[in-house]
Structure 1
Amino acid sequence: MSMKSPSTDESVRDELAGAVALFHSLSDPTRLAIARHLAHGEARVVDLTRALGLPQSTVSSHLACLRDCRLITGRPEGRQVFYALARPELLDLFAAAETLLAATGNAVALCPTYGTDTGSETTEETTR
């Protein structure tokens, strides 16, 4: 993804479509947790359900999404499938994300749109 000056031009949107799809595919907490787990090595569905505490159907559906995005691969062995990251570059992406999160402190967590800071209540919630 090359970085160009900001524009609302349709060609720029088209150019960014792949990056948007990549980040969207990893924006779901379950898919990100699966990908992070697979960063440590291969795993079967049963391994992922135990590690993440999620139902098999949930894990399987998110694995299908990641596989469709070609972010993971499945290696059949008998009646089992061992899943792994398809691209080692994902490890670099995770490392870069951790570096960026550390550098920005709580800025992302406090973002009013995408933040995760649920510890403080808004004025509207406290007046109910």
Structure 2
Amino acid sequence: MQNSTLDMKVKLIHGFSNKTRIQILECLKNEEKTVSQIVEQIKGNQSNISQHLACLKGCGIIVGRNEGKYCFYSLRNQYIRDLLDMFDVVLNDVQNDVICCENHME
């Protein structure tokens, strides 16, 4: 694998490597939402949520659609939804190891 492809893969995975970003993605899994709806659902800070939305949008994981004065965010496509579902499948398989892992403490 070429270094540039590897670097892009790392950048993409970074989009999924934060608790708030995962909360946002789970929030958007079934329907599009505005920033206010996301903030309310995950009980977050609007400024912080907006920064994470910018990261997710910049990586191409989510998209925004303007309607009037609102921007509605959604997952980019079914592949992202499938990937989130696959994280759950893999986690179910390895959860005991993840719980015991001391290499990635937050």
Partner of 1:72: 62
Q: The residue matched to 1:108 in structure 2 has which SS?
A: helix
Aligned pairs, number: 106
Equivalents in 1 of 2:23, 2:81: separation in Å?
Answer: 13
Structure with bigger RCO (C-alpha 8 Å, 6+ apart): 2
Equivalents in 1 of 2:5, 2:74: separation in Å?
Answer: 28
Aligned residue identity for 1:54:
G
Higher-helix-fraction structure: 2
Q: The residue matched to 2:100 in structure 1 has which SS?
A: coil
Partner of 2:8: 18
Taking only aligned residues, the RMSD between alpha carbons, in angstroms, comes to: 1.6
Equivalents in 1 of 2:95, 2:104: separation in Å?
Answer: 15
Q: The residue matched to 1:105 in structure 2 has which SS?
A: helix
Change (3 A) 1:109 1:19: farther
Q: The residue matched to 1:109 in structure 2 has which SS?
A: helix
Moved over 4 A (4+): none
Runs of 5+ consecutive residues of structure 1 not aligned to the other structure = 5-10, 117-128
Aligned mate of 1:108, from 98, 102, 105: 98
Partner of 1:89: 79
Aligned residue identity for 1:24:
H
TM-score in terms of structure 1 length: 0.75
Equivalents in 2 of 1:111, 1:25: separation in Å?
Answer: 21
